[in-house]
Structure 1
Amino acid sequence: MKVLITGFDPFGGETVNPAYEAVKLLPEVICGAEIIKLEIPTVYTKSGAAVEKAIKEHQPDVVLCIGQAGGRSSIQIEKVAINLAEARIKDNEGNQPMDVALHEDGENAYFTNLPCKAVVNELRKNNIPAHISYTAGTFVCNDVMYHLLYLISKKYNKVRGGFIHVPYALEQVIDKPAGTPAMSLETIAKGLELAIKAIIENDEDISIHMGTIM
């Protein structure tokens, strides 16, 4: 089995991105699966193209994209990606789309085929804060997740894929307002390792109540 795991380069004035920094800390093999690591650009369209190129090259069984979500306090596996680009800030090449569809022939939204509840359960069992998220935003994180799920729907229906958001790394919040959530890179990496373990071990999701009331 092969797992392709990606992380973005720094964006928004940050000098590091905990997504790829944590990916780099992962072992080369998890539960017998080969781990293929890839840094992708925080740029609309180009991030998805980089993932598609890697899928063609490596033929992975699972594709897991990782992104920074500054302000979130837990590791969050995304349930759904929407067909919308709406950028509050510019990406790393100055693009700032507004109210634009990502794929004209795509569905309004695609749901991940990863076992979200099993992932959250695995992390919580190991004392790592984790939740399911029902919005990947409208920036490049949603862009790459939507493109991945679009590809799975149209071309690679045997691939399982999805997206995980991680908090700021501790070193990123030194000069940020008091109370800004953060997590150590080591904890983030351990969470990602456990997430991959849960994905490998669960072809189907577990049956347990989760979700949000807001």
Structure 2
Amino acid sequence: MGGGDRALPRGAPDRARLGRVAPEPRGRARPGGPARGGGRAPARGRAPARRALSYTGPAVILVTGFEPFGGHTLNPSEGLAKAVDGRRVGAHAVQGLVLPVHHAEAWAALAPVLEATAPAAVVHLGLAAGRARVGLERVALNVMDYEVADNAGFRAAGEPCVPGGPAAYLATLPLDELRRALTAEGIPAYVSNSAGTYLCNQTLYRTLHAVRELARPPRVGFVHFPLLPAMVAASGLEQPSMDFPLMLRAVEVILAVLAR
């Protein structure tokens, strides 16, 4: 499957201000974001005031997935993002977005949508071959170290996601609450302490870095899914898998918790 239908919402700006956030001053950063800013102009040495976006539409939960990569012909996260696109969960509208597996174009596709919709929550989805459970990622590291090249043939080797950015950010989704809700539904899930160093980690880091200055930053996190059974069958390897309906139910449970 391809991601050629990645349409931006009407009114999305050509260049997203979220993509031009300056690096945090040395010594101020901490995982999870800096201290809250005030409403006045910042005095010298103080953190800048947080800004608000002008979006006035319904509350949005943004769900992203990725195209296939690394020799796979499928990526369940792509199908999941498409499956929930356009749904309503409580008072929230769900918007799905499929990102390219490209070191630069993934953020170029995501940043304008963040700017245009000012989502209440951002749930990034991705594939983690070898995992048997739904992985709720706790931390994003400021490093790109690709085990395989992206779909443009680029292979990062120890480069920062954001030069000058903090070493790490903590995801801001309610991870323990999500884990309990998923396991109560019979869906195997756990809180993971490593999102890897590929596009998944990079996308989570850049999103958390970009929203840190907003007056009302969205809750942001990343969820990894196992291989689909068809992907394991095609590989001929002994690997865990999860069927798509159970994955979709997991996303539905996550959305229901976030929409409360």
TM-score relative to the length of structure 2: 0.74
CA distance in 2, matches of 1:120, 1:23: 20
Residue pair 1:22, 1:186 contacting (<8 A) in 2 also: no
| Higher RCO by CA contacts (8 Å cutoff, separation 6 or greater) | 1
- Does the alignment pair 1:6 with 2:39? no
Structure 1: gaps of 5 or more residues: 202-214
User: Aligned partner of 1:129: which letter?
Assistant: P
Q: Distance between the aligned counterparts of 1:157 and 1:104, measured in 2?
A: 25
**For 1:157 and 1:69, how far apart are their aligned partners in 2?**
31
Q: Does 1:19 align with 2:52?
A: no
Looking at structure 1, the residues matched to 214 and 101 of structure 2 have their Cα atoms a distance apart, in angstroms, of 24
Mark the CA change 1:156 to 1:173 in structure 2 (over 3 Å): closer, same or farther.
Answer: farther
1:128 and 2:187 aligned: yes
Per the alignment, residue 164 of structure 1 pairs with 223
Query: 8 Å contact 1:85–1:102 — kept in the other structure?
Result: yes
1:127-146 equivalences under 5 Å are 127-146=186-205
Give the letter for the 1:184 counterpart.
Answer: D
Task: After superposing the two structures, state which structure 1 stretch, 125-134 or 53-62, moved more.
Answer: 53-62
Residue deviations 1:175-196 (CA, integer Å, cap 9, x gap): 3345311111111011011011
Superposition pairs of residues 9-158 of structure 1, within 5 angstroms: 9-26=67-84, 28-155=87-214, 157-158=216-217
User: Using a 3 Å threshold, how does the CA distance of structure 1 residues 99 and 156 change in structure 2: closer, same or farther?
Assistant: farther
TM-superposed deviation, 1:156: 6.4
Alignment RMSD (CA, Å): 1.4
2:91 and 2:259 in contact (8 A); partners too? no
Residue identity in the other structure for 1:51 = L
Please list, as runs of the form range in 1=range in 2, the aligned pairs for 1:182-201 lying within 5 A after superposition: 182-201=241-260
Q: Closer, same or farther in 2 for the Cα pair 1:169/1:119, shift >3 Å?
A: same
Q: Runs of at least 4 residues of structure 1 off by over 3 A?
A: 154-157
Per mean C-alpha deviation after superposition, the further-off stretch among 43-52 and 2-11 is 43-52
Structure 2: gaps of 5 or more residues: 1-58
The structure with the largest alpha-carbon Rg is 2
Answer yes or no: is the 8 Å Cα contact 1:48–1:143 preserved in 2.
no
Inter-partner Cα distance in structure 1 for 2:152 and 2:224: 22
Residues 134 and 189 in structure 2, CA contact (< 8 A), matched pair in contact too: yes
Measured against aligned partners, the alpha-carbon deviations of 1:134-182 in whole angstroms (never above 9, x if no partner) come to 1000011111011011112244652111111011111111133453111
